[in-house]
Every structure is written in C-alpha cells, then in structure tokens.
A and B are shown apart, each in its own frame.
Chain A
Amino acid sequence: MENFKPNIIVFCCNWCSYAGADLAGVSRFQIDPNFRVIRTMCSGRIEPEFILSAFENGADGVMITGCHPGDCHYINGNYKTMRRFYFMKVLLREFGVETNRMKLSFISAGEGIEFQRLVNDFIKEIKKLGSAQYRIKE
C-alpha cells in the first residue's frame, strides 16, 4: 500500500485553478507527483463522460477545479459545474465507484498554496482508498 502510486486526473479551468497550479509552481510549493492536469477553458466544460472515461481508463481519483463562486471568467460556469457535480456523484455511485474518488474544489489564480493543499490532501485520501476497481474490460 505504501508504494501505491495512484492515477489522478485534475481538471483545471484556464483562468483560475490552472493559474493557481502555475503559481504553486512559481512559489515552489511541493506536491505529490501522482496527478496529471487537463486544462479546459471553464470547469463548465467538464462532461460526465470525462469522469466515467477517466475511471474506465484506470484513474483512481478525479478532481475538478474551477474559480471561486462569483469569480467565474464565464459569469457562472462554475455554478453549473457545482450542479453537475452532484449529478455526476449519483452517476458514479450507479457505476460502482466510491463517490469520494471525485472532488470539486475552487482555487483562485492567487492561491498556489491552496492548490498544493487540496491536491496533496486528495492524493492522500485516494492513497488511503487504494486502487479503484472500476476498469475498462481489456
């Protein structure tokens, strides 16, 4: 279990959380390397299919990150993400994936340290949960 290297996908929106992730880098805040970032323009772009596909393809956890409520570059895309998130949780449960393998967080462009904390915490959490059982049939 100690050596378990989880596969984690972090979706970042271009304007806030991706910039926050960059700031974590510029500030040299150290983060567990077991995650990969996929950038979209807005967290509102994240389709339920992306989440299912991620687990299908071996992800052990998926994090969706966007701007803080009220700060969305596209007026209110993050609110739509919030609503979709709860729906996606139900969907995950239906497919037999633990719902706490998916997380929604808000990180501003100025919160490099928040990016570090939230991602590290999530990876820790996933490490505790172990490998996800839901996989595509080979």
Chain B
Amino acid sequence: MKKKMKKQKKKRVVRKNRKSGVPKGKQAPDMVSLTIDGISVTTKKSNSILEAAQEINIEIPTLCYHKALSSYGACRLCVVEIQKNGWKKIQTSCVYPVEEGIEVKTDTPVLQNIRKTMIQLMLARAPESSVVQEMARKLGVEDTPFVKRDDDCIRCGLCIRMCRERMGKNVIGFKGRGDQREIAPPFDVESPDCMACGACYAICPTASQRLKKMSNKVKKPLLDEFDAGLRSRSVIRIPFPQAVPNAAIIDREHCVHFVTDKCRICEDLCEAKAIDFDQKEELVEIPVGSIILSSGAEVIDGKQKREYGNGRYENIVTSIEFERILSASGPYHGHVVRPGDKKEPKRIAFIQCVGSRDDEHPYCSSVCCMYATKEALIAKEHSPGLECTIFFMDIRAFGKGFDEYYEKAQKSGVRYIRCRPSSIEEKQSTKNLIIRYADEQGQMRVDEYDMVVLACGLQPPKGMVEIAQTLGIEMNAAGFCKTRAFAPTDSSKEGVFACGPCTEPKDIPETVTQSSSAAARSMELLAEQRHTLITKKEYPAELDVSGQEPRVGVFICRCGINIGAYVDVPKVVEHTKGLKYVVHVEENLYTCSQDSQKLIIEMIKEHKLNRVVVASCTPRTHESLFRETIREAGLNPYLFEMANIRDQCSWIHMTEPEGATEKAKDLVKMAVAKAALLSPLKRVEIDVIQKALVIGGGVAGMVTSLSLARQGFEVFLVEKEKQLGGNARHIFYTIEGNDVQAYLLELIKKVCDHKLIRVMTNAEITAVRGFVGNYETEISLASGRNKIYKHGVIIVATGGVEYRPDEYSYGKDTRIMTQRELEEKIVGAEPQIVGLRSIAMIQCVGSRDNGHGYCSRRCCSQAVKNALSLLELHPKTKIYILYRDVRTYGFKEDYYTAARSAGVIFVRYDREKKPILANDNGSLDVSVFDPVLQRKLEIHPDLVVLSTGIVPNKDNEKIAKMLKVPLNSDGFFLEAHVKLRPVDFATEGVFVAGLAHSPKFISETIDQAGAAAARAATILAENKYYAEATVSHVNDDLCVGCGVCSNMCPYEAIEIVEEDGQRRSKVNEALCKGCGTCVAACPSGAMDQYGFTKDQILTMIRSIRE
C-alpha cells in the first residue's frame, strides 16, 4: 500500500518537471534533485530546503522565514534531518541550501523535541502572542516550563531584515548579546531616517509594542477612500469590490518602491507576475466626433464646517460615511455603531442641507432629503429600537414614488423636525452631541444624540474648471457645466455634451436618463459613422455533435497558488479521470492564459472532445472567454460548463484544505454531470424593421422622433389631437425665463420638415401585434381609414393632463384659476391681473393627498415663476404662497430665494389643516392656520390661484393593455427599473418618455425623450436582433394550455394559442429573457429552459450522492 502511494507521488513530480519545461532525464545545470520525506523533488540550486519543501506542499514550521526576505535561521523551528552518504545532521532548513542527492526528513521524534523546546523558549519570551501560542498548540506544547517574561518580541529579526533589505533603511538592528539581545535603533536614539512606513510592524509575527519605540515619527494610516476614510487600506489594492476593471492598483504617492526605489515585495509574491512598476501614464490621441462629459459631482465635507465642530467631534459623520457604516461590506459589516467608540447608538440625528441652500452653495442638492430618509429607515431596520430624527427645512420628495416613501418613513417612526439647528456641541463625558434648535413654534429646545449624520450636499467636482477650459465649454455661476435651455445635455460648444450631476445635482434616475440622452445627441451627429470601426471575427464551421456520446474534456486550473495552495489539484485530477464520459483531464497553471487556450483547442481536436469543463474561477468573469475558445475549435459555445473552484472554494476554505479538495472534486463532478447533458444552443436571430412608432406628439414624442430621424431611422409619429405640441402649448416661459412657445414652434417645424418623420395627427392606435423588431400597428387615421404600419420599436409619449380641481370653488368664480390659466393671463397682459392688491396661491391642489398621493414636482416652481413675473409687472401686488413644502430643487432654489427677497410671503400649512376659501359675500376670504405663528391667518386676496397637479392621461390604461406594459398605482406607466432603466419597459422594444412616465419639467421631458430615442436606437441600429440562447421552450405533447406560465412571465413572452382545437403555450424567443420562472411554475412539466434544463439541474443534485 505504501509503495503504491509512493508511486503516485512520483508521478506528480514527473508532471511538475513537464511544467517547468525540463524533460525527464536531462537535468538543467542549475537544478538539483533531492528527496524530502520520501518524495523526490527537482528544484533550483539557489533554493533552500525549506523552499524546496514548500514547492511540493510539505509544510515545515517556521516563524522567522518570509519569502520576500533573506533567510536568517533565527527561530530554529524549521530544523530538519539531512542524510547523505551515511552521515546525518540536523540543520535549519531555511538557510541550508539544497544539495544533489540528499535525503531530508522534516518530521521525526528528534525534530519534534527540538521544536518543542524552541517554542517553549519563545512562549516564555512572548507569552501573550497569539501567533506563538498557535504555533505551540500545533507542536503539541501547552505551557512553558521557563520563566515567563513581560515581553512580546521573539527576536526573529523579520523587522530588521524588512527595514534593511526591502525598505532600504537601517533604522533598527539588534543590540546586546545572549538574553540581552533586543531590537533597537542605532545608539538607542530614535532614528530620523524612519519613514514611518509601518513595514516592520506589518511583518512582525507578534505585533510587538517595542517597534513603536523605534521612531518618533507618527504613523498615519492610509485611509480607504471608498469607505469614506473609516478604515485603512494598503498601498496596493483593488479600490472597491466591484471595481471595473477588477484589478489591483498601486498608490504611487505612498508606495515605498516609488518613494525610495526599494521594496518590490509585491513583485516577488505575485505568482502571475502581474506587477509592472514601469507602467507609465500614456498620452493617447483618439480622433472623435463628439465628447460626452460626465464628470459627476463631489460630496461636500460638512464635518469641516465651523458649526459642526471642524471635524473634531468623532461621532458626527457625513452621509457618505453613514452609507458605508450601513453597508454589509462596509467598515463595521453593516452594524450601526459610532466611529468613536464603536458603541451602538440609540438616537441618531440627521441634519439636512449641509452645504446646500446656504450662502456658499445657494442651490438645492436635490438628493439629500431622500437619502437621509433612506438611511434612517435602513438604520432602523439594522438596529431595532433606534430613534432617528431628521432636521429639515423642506422635505423635497419630488421624484417618482418618493412621497410614498417619505410617508412610509414617517409611519415607521422616523421623526421629522422642521428646523435648521443653530449649533452642535460635544458632551465631553459621553461624546454625545447636543443639538440646540428652535422648534416650529419658536421654542428653543436642547436634544442629546449619540450620533449625528450630516446630509451633505453636492458641489462641482475638483478639476471642473480645468476640464471646462480644456474642452472650451462654459460653466454656470455655481461652477457646474452650463447647458442650453431646451437642449439640457448640450454644452456651450457644439459636439460637446454633458450629463449627470456635472450639469446640476441630480438623483440616479435623472442621471441615467440624461446620460442616455447625451448618447442620443451624440449619435445624431455621428449617425453616418455607425458601425465603421467594427471588425468581424471569422469562426470555423460548427461541428455537428448530435447523436454522439458525450466526450468530456476537463481542464483544472491551479490559478498559480490561488487554487493550488489550498486544493490538492492532482487529487481532483485523479478523481475526475474516473468520472463517466470524461476522456481527458488536464491540469493547468493558468487555464485562462493564452497558451492554455491553444492547448484546449488542440485537446478538443486530439481527443474529439464534444463537451468541455473548466474548473477554475467564476463563470461571471471567464465563461465568455472559454466559450469563445471552444467556438474557435468548432464546438458550439454552449457545450461548455464551469466549476467554480476558486472564488467559491479555495478562497473561502483556505484553512481547510481537505474540505476544499473534497468540495472541488464534487463541484467538478457536478459540472461534468451537467456537461454530459448539454446540447448546442443558438441565439435566435430576428429581423428588425428599422423604424419606430412614437405615440404622442407633445414635446416628448417630438424630441424622440426628431432624434431617431436624425439618427437615420424612419419614424411614425401618431398624435390623437389635431395639432402637435401637447401640454407645452399652454406653457409660455420657464422659470429661467426661456420662451417655450418659440421653442415649440421651431420643434414642430423641424419635426414636420424632416423627411424621415411621418406625422399623423387626429390619429390613434387601435391595435398592436408582434414583438421587438417586428410590430404591426393598426392606426385609425384622420381620413377615417385604418391602416397598418410595420415597425421595430414603440415609444410611449402620451403625456399627462393638468388636474381640474373640484375643490376651492374652481370653475364657479372667475377670480379662482389654475397656475396655467394665470400664466396665460400674464403673457396676454390681461386686465384681470392688473392693479391687484393681493393674490393667494394654494399649492398641492390635487397632489400629495388622497386620490393623488404623489408630488407633481413642478407646481412649486410654477408658482414661484408666476409670482416673480407678476411682481415684475406689478411690484405692488402682495403675493401669498400657501405651501406644504417648497420643492424648488436644484438651481430652481435661486428663484425661491429671489421670490422671498422680492417680498412674496410663504405661509406653510399642514395636510390636515388645508386653507379654507370662502367667496360667499362677494370677496374672496382665505383662512389658513400658520403653524409658526400658531394662529389662523385671514387673507382677502383679489385672486386665488390653484397650483394644480398633473394627472395621468385617461388613455393610459387602454394603451398599456394594447402594448402589454404595466401602469403604477397612480396610473402612470411603470418602467422596468425605477433607478437603472428609467425609460425601458420590461417588455423588450417598448420605451416611455415624458409625462406618461411621471410629472416633470420640460427640460426633464426633453432629456427623457432623448433617452428613449437612444434606447430605441440600440435595437434599431442593427437589422438583426439576437435573442437569449438560454430561453424557455414548450413540449407540445405535455402542454395543456393552462396559462400558468404566461401569467408568471414578466416579459409577456408566453402566449396561449389555439391550434387544432388544442390550447398550448407558445414562447416568443425574442421576448424571453431566460429567467426560467415559467419552467418552475409549469404544473405539467411541459416547460423547460435551455442551458438550465430540469434534467441538467437534477443530475447535478443527484451527483452529490456518494
């Protein structure tokens, strides 16, 4: 039995030889062969015995050896027995070089005794060190018979060697002899040469406190930028877990190599030899036709402000820091604790508008109200019982679904206090924070909190000025990129576009929308250049493997030491050889390397492999590479399966090599079992009709149409009314003072003049058939005839409607009107608005209330806009705006400020105490309860203006049904993802823009329309559409047409059709995204999913059975 084992082990060595490129029998001159514990090994002459043993995974205990440093033989734990020509001696293996023909034994009773004594001595030296204790336990030593000292240094000398050899300094050395020996700086004087790099401390196995006395320089940790400085980081690192590319980078400013030209440890340790110190910044010239600027915004560090303690109070954090505290991958693993003492807070205060709406940053940062609300809710989820208080001025929950969320937070117990606190002070004893504030009634109050979160605003990024200069674009007064009024992504220079928070602070949905819009604007310019830089790859013809018995080839990766050091790869190889259908198994140092790809192709040919399994890292990063490789060998790319033995095995079971090896065997077994059942798959190719249908001829519909036409696509624009323009026909000027009507006229002209746009007014869609790329829509035309149009995509731009109030006697008194009506009168300079003493404007009519729970977003600005123009015309008119929260977000805050200084009186009211309007005795009497004064105010205005909300188009339901797309509970169209896919529907090929999506401003509508055009163009740009390969399919013999699958499908990809009197499901492969939820739901087993079939998954499950 033992002999057999030896034989196997020898085999392993042969393989090693092959890898190092040395043929057996002919030994290279710089190599020597020896035997360690009965295993023969050939290794470099320069290696020590310890290193040779490590190469074949034989572990020799040591505390003073480090791969990066010269060996020193200090700890003497690595003693081995060396035999040659009959003599025998005991030596420390870390300093003893390998010799030809010697026999080494690493674990004999004699050696064990020596090691025990050594570790007992070390235990006496550093009794508290966990590393020494752990080593003692490993060596079977529990306690030391020697006198324990109050020390933590085992004199291994690693720190000294590190400082001298790698850091290029000689700051520390040994002094004294025998038991007086200890580390010290020269002449016992703290050395000025010390760089405070911390390398000595980092390598010290016992984390010795002595090292702290070697230098008087203060060691400052490098703070992790991604974790907002809440934890330290190393000089070489992957900046954050999801970084793209996911590769390590070196911080040149702090790297010792770049500072002193020494160190280079990482270079020696990296098995893949990926460290390249010579990489330099390169200047690359790329000829482009357009530039898109998306340089983002920067969070203002509110902690540095005087009123928040100049960064001195340890339990004040910024919102970004708190975001990281809440994150499971953050510095405290998602436990809500204070950074100062890591205690769980009981009371947290959030302070809004830090660095927003003040003298320095007069604008509103738009995002802070919502993120504070979110952080408060999540914090409460993380630590039940936590009290969260938000100090705010106005809660600006203006986005889609935001008000609902704000209400949820209130119901969940988040306390909102309307006040900007005047000061925060730290309590010395507890480090708690004392907040002084005036409540809404003007009472001064003092509250104590364990922690304060500053909701910091956004400012232009550093370097914005330089970027603007380089690009030659203008900036606005706040330092953001200036864009054009009715082209919100156009900078002041043609061809340069801007998107995201670099144009104005904004939330994720608006950012994503504007980015797509900028892409559309860019493509309008570059349409002719489309596809000109594409090179097509040629593949060999695909081999037909149908009917063949599976012949599986398995390639098992060592990934340098990443897998090889923890998983016994040769054992996995041996195990895999015995699996059914496996005809070839190969072990690779790096399966992903270029020569391995060549090897895989060769092996496929040589062994006529028809299935390939790679056991290495994760399919998420490498599946596409290997699929490509087997395709190059003529195999269908879907005849490939991966076993994740690195990310999900060797890396997470580093301390349990046996368990990891067993697991790797199983994972390969499961992958092989599945591979045997794989069949070739194809992505279904669908012809695309490169034309678009746009429903709705308002600003959204027209901008989309024009953009698509400019990109070269034919557009059918359907408007149900007799003229184009939609709601914009009733808007005359924006808050910034831009002329809407002039813009609209020009837009209509451009749309009507464009030869690729077919405008149909007085027309409505009556039926829609088909799917992405291939729609047939029936349109009832002005002529009364119905005609069918064919197109590839649909954009829904059906708009919204101004709410017609039935409250406040609207319609019964000419002195009561909506903002829109007032605007018309202002523009027309009608006598009704001349010489008025006072006007009352009532906000949130038909918004944020029963029936219409959402905020209509634009009414606050509309009121401010009209108030300002009225005052310009008639400065003596007194204007009262009765509001709940003033939501003039972004740069619109400037106009709110202007309105206040112009004398507009803002009176707040509560939802429960709405203003009451009486017009019984000829005069208009408005009474409102002012929560600040705590009394009722009586106003007798000449005019009452209702700021009415936007309600969804009543046709939405009908259109949604025809297109099979959803509406939200308010009746607006529901996008695929509120944040990340704001203009897409789950159903491929259908998009949404404008008020049909939610209430918004014209500029936002233009952005969204551009975005819809960009997204639609991703389909229209190609004449073919490739569906997913791993889609669902139906077994007609088993299907009974019950329709469960069709109800499950989020993409409307399954239809129930009737053929020969039989109801059956039919999967539209163009729409199926391959989630497989219909398969799991099918009660008759008729559904299955390619690539994840029932049999394939069941066989994986079965293969766990031993």
Beta-carbon contact of A45 and B241 below 8 Å: no
Beta-carbon contact of A41 and B1030 below 8 Å: yes
Q: Is B652 an interface residue (CB 8 A)?
A: yes
Q: Is B24 an interface residue (CB 8 A)?
A: no
Interface string of B1088-1102 (1 = CB under 8 A from A): 010010100110111
Beta-carbon contact of B651 and A75 below 8 Å: no
Q: Is A110 an interface residue (CB 8 A)?
A: yes
Q: How large is the interface on B (under 10, 10 to 19, 20 to 34, 35 or more residues)?
A: 35 or more
Q: Is B8 an interface residue (CB 8 A)?
A: no
**Contact among B238, B618, B619, B1075 for A44, CB-based, below 8 A:** B1075
Please, how many angstroms separate the alpha-carbon atoms of A74 and B1101 in the complex? 24
Beta-carbon contact of A49 and B1094 below 8 Å: yes
**Residues of B contacting A48 in the complex (Cβ-Cβ under 8 angstroms):** 1080
In the complex, identify which listed stretch (B79-87, B479-487, B642-650, B894-902) lies at the interface while the others stay far away: B642-650
Query: Chain B: which residue is nearest A78 at the CB level?
Result: B1077
**Residues of B contacting A24 in the complex (Cβ-Cβ under 8 angstroms):** 647-648, 652
In the complex, identify which listed stretch (A26-34, A93-101, A125-133) lies at the interface while the others stay far away: A26-34
Please, how many angstroms separate the alpha-carbon atoms of A32 and B1101 in the complex? 20
**Contact among B647, B659, B1050, B1104 for A75, CB-based, below 8 A:** B1050
- List which A1-48 residues lie within 8 A (CB) of chain B: 5, 7, 9, 14, 18-19, 21-34, 36-42, 44-48
Interface string of B637-664 (1 = CB under 8 A from A): 0000000101111011111100110110
**Residues of B contacting A42 in the complex (Cβ-Cβ under 8 angstroms):** 1075-1077
Please, how many angstroms separate the alpha-carbon atoms of A48 and B1079 in the complex? 11
Known: A26-B241, A45-B1077, A84-B1080. A40 touches B1097 (CB 8 A): yes
Known: A29-B652, A40-B1092. A53 touches B242 (CB 8 A): no
**Residues of B contacting A112 in the complex (Cβ-Cβ under 8 angstroms):** 241, 329
**Residues of B contacting A39 in the complex (Cβ-Cβ under 8 angstroms):** 619
Q: Is A102 an interface residue (CB 8 A)?
A: no
Interface string of B750-768 (1 = CB under 8 A from A): 0000000000000000000
Interface string of B1023-1034 (1 = CB under 8 A from A): 000000010000
**Residues of A contacting B238 in the complex (Cβ-Cβ under 8 angstroms):** 26
Beta-carbon contact of B329 and A44 below 8 Å: no
Q: Is B742 an interface residue (CB 8 A)?
A: no
Most buried by A among B647, B654, B1079, B1106: B647
Please, how many angstroms separate the alpha-carbon atoms of A29 and B653 in the complex? 9
Beta-carbon contact of B1077 and A18 below 8 Å: no
Query: Chain B: which residue is nearest A52 at the CB level?
Result: B1101
Beta-carbon contact of B334 and A113 below 8 Å: yes
**Residues of A contacting B170 in the complex (Cβ-Cβ under 8 angstroms):** none
**Residues of B contacting A29 in the complex (Cβ-Cβ under 8 angstroms):** 652
Q: Is B333 an interface residue (CB 8 A)?
A: yes
Beta-carbon contact of A80 and B1077 below 8 Å: yes
Beta-carbon contact of B1080 and A57 below 8 Å: no
**Residues of A contacting B1089 in the complex (Cβ-Cβ under 8 angstroms):** 41, 45
Beta-carbon contact of B1101 and A57 below 8 Å: yes
**Contact among B647, B663, B976 for A26, CB-based, below 8 A:** B647
Query: Chain B: which residue is nearest A136 at the CB level?
Result: B1105
Most buried by A among B241, B662, B1074, B1094: B241
**Contact among B619, B647, B1030, B1081 for A25, CB-based, below 8 A:** B647
- Nearest-neighbour CB distance to chain A for B672, whole angstroms, equals 14
Please, how many angstroms separate the alpha-carbon atoms of A74 and B1050 in the complex? 7
Beta-carbon contact of B1101 and A37 below 8 Å: no
Beta-carbon contact of A75 and B329 below 8 Å: no
**Contact among A25, A46, A73, A80 for B648, CB-based, below 8 A:** A25
Please, how many angstroms separate the alpha-carbon atoms of A23 and B1092 in the complex? 23
- Nearest-neighbour CB distance to chain B for A47, whole angstroms, equals 4
Beta-carbon contact of B1050 and A27 below 8 Å: no
**Residues of A contacting B958 in the complex (Cβ-Cβ under 8 angstroms):** none
Most buried by A among B1051, B1076, B1080, B1089: B1080
Please, how many angstroms separate the alpha-carbon atoms of A22 and B651 in the complex? 9
Q: Is A109 an interface residue (CB 8 A)?
A: yes
Beta-carbon contact of B1080 and A46 below 8 Å: yes
Beta-carbon contact of A50 and B1098 below 8 Å: yes
Please, how many angstroms separate the alpha-carbon atoms of A34 and B652 in the complex? 11
Beta-carbon contact of B1101 and A53 below 8 Å: yes
**Residues of A contacting B329 in the complex (Cβ-Cβ under 8 angstroms):** 23, 27, 110-113
Beta-carbon contact of A77 and B1101 below 8 Å: no
Known: A25-B648, A50-B1097. A44 touches B1076 (CB 8 A): yes
**Residues of B contacting A50 in the complex (Cβ-Cβ under 8 angstroms):** 1097-1098, 1101
Query: Chain B: which residue is nearest A44 at the CB level?
Result: B1077
**Residues of B contacting A37 in the complex (Cβ-Cβ under 8 angstroms):** 644, 648, 667
Q: How large is the interface on A (under 10, 10 to 19, 20 to 34, 35 or more residues)?
A: 35 or more
Please, how many angstroms separate the alpha-carbon atoms of A105 and B574 in the complex? 36
Q: Is A59 an interface residue (CB 8 A)?
A: yes
Beta-carbon contact of A114 and B328 below 8 Å: yes
Please, how many angstroms separate the alpha-carbon atoms of A92 and B176 in the complex? 72
Interface string of B1047-1083 (1 = CB under 8 A from A): 0101100000000000000000000011111011100
Q: Is B3 an interface residue (CB 8 A)?
A: no
Q: Is A116 an interface residue (CB 8 A)?
A: yes
- Nearest-neighbour CB distance to chain A for B670, whole angstroms, equals 7
Please, how many angstroms separate the alpha-carbon atoms of A89 and B333 in the complex? 31
Query: Chain B: which residue is nearest A111 at the CB level?
Result: B328
Most buried by A among B1074, B1076, B1106: B1076
**Contact among B620, B655, B976, B1105 for A22, CB-based, below 8 A:** B620
Most buried by B among A45, A48, A54: A45
Query: Chain A: which residue is nearest B1032 at the CB level?
Result: A45
Please, how many angstroms separate the alpha-carbon atoms of A5 and B662 in the complex? 11
Q: Is B33 an interface residue (CB 8 A)?
A: no
Please, how many angstroms separate the alpha-carbon atoms of A73 and B667 in the complex? 26
**Contact among A47, A58, A59 for B1080, CB-based, below 8 A:** A47
Query: Chain A: which residue is nearest B242 at the CB level?
Result: A110
Please, how many angstroms separate the alpha-carbon atoms of A119 and B946 in the complex? 57
**Residues of B contacting A74 in the complex (Cβ-Cβ under 8 angstroms):** 1050, 1073, 1075, 1077
Please, how many angstroms separate the alpha-carbon atoms of A113 and B334 in the complex? 9
Please, how many angstroms separate the alpha-carbon atoms of A7 and B663 in the complex? 11
Q: Is B838 an interface residue (CB 8 A)?
A: no
**Residues of A contacting B666 in the complex (Cβ-Cβ under 8 angstroms):** 36
- Nearest-neighbour CB distance to chain A for B1030, whole angstroms, equals 7
Query: Chain A: which residue is nearest B1076 at the CB level?
Result: A45
**Residues of B contacting A110 in the complex (Cβ-Cβ under 8 angstroms):** 241-242, 327-329
Beta-carbon contact of A47 and B334 below 8 Å: no
Please, how many angstroms separate the alpha-carbon atoms of A9 and B1105 in the complex? 11
Beta-carbon contact of A54 and B1101 below 8 Å: yes
Most buried by A among B246, B1048, B1051, B1092: B1092
Inter-chain pairs besides A33-B653, A45-B1075, 13 sampled, C-beta below 8 Å:
A22-B618, A24-B647, A26-B651, A28-B654, A30-B654, A33-B659, A40-B1076, A44-B1080, A58-B1105, A80-B1048, A80-B1077, A109-B242, A113-B333
Chain A to chain B: the 5 pairs with minimum beta-carbon distance, closest first: A44-B1077, A25-B647, A45-B1076, A33-B659, A74-B1075
Can you spell out 30 A-B residue pairs with CB atoms less than 8 angstroms apart?
A9-B1104, A19-B620, A22-B618, A22-B648, A24-B647, A26-B246, A26-B647, A30-B655, A33-B653, A33-B663, A36-B666, A40-B1092, A41-B1092, A42-B1077, A45-B1079, A45-B1080, A46-B1080, A47-B1080, A53-B1098, A53-B1101, A74-B1050, A74-B1075, A74-B1077, A75-B986, A80-B1048, A80-B1077, A84-B1080, A110-B328, A111-B329, A112-B241
Interface residues of chain B, those whose CB is within 8 Å of chain A, are 238, 241-242, 246, 327-329, 333-334, 618-620, 644, 646-649, 651-656, 659-660, 662-663, 666-667, 670, 976, 986, 1030, 1048, 1050-1051, 1073-1077, 1079-1081, 1089, 1092, 1094, 1097-1098, 1100-1102, 1104-1106
